[in-house]
Amino acid sequence: MNIHQTSPRSDCTHFAKCGKRSIAYCRRYGAHECLSCQLVKRKPKNRVIVDGIERKKCTHCGKVLPLHRFYDRTVVRNGKSYHLKTSWCRLCMSGSQCERNKRKVAASKFGFG
């Protein structure tokens, strides 16, 4: 069982702006415990909040859409899993896959695939 520590480790060199806790601690628990801390989570650069709804910009069509219009993605690096959203919206992704499938069918008819 993991132990929840309230004080930073002695070898911790990266503290939050409050100076009391580590940056990692504030990013994980700061929203509930430390209201004065501004370093709670990293905000992605391509996201905005409009009318209380978080939106993201599609890098393909350039439209700013709600997050449910993007597919979920899981990336594993160095044993850690990161849950992300795709950079292209669902409409752009399905359109590109449709074009890809048409090319594959046409190529297989002529014996290229």
At 37-88, the pLDDT tens digits run: 554 456 677 888 888 889 999 999 999 999 999 999 999 988 888 888 999 9
**CA dihedral over 63, 64, 69, 72, signed as positive or negative:** positive
Give percent above pLDDT 90 in the chain: 36
- pLDDT exceeds 80 at position 89: yes
- pTM here is 0.57
Whole-angstrom distance, CA of residue 51 vs CA of residue 76: 33
**Does the domain spanning 47-108 belong to CATH 1.10.10?**
no
Domain ranges of the chain: 8-42, 47-108
Judge whether residue 33 has pLDDT over 70: no
Chain length of the chain: 113
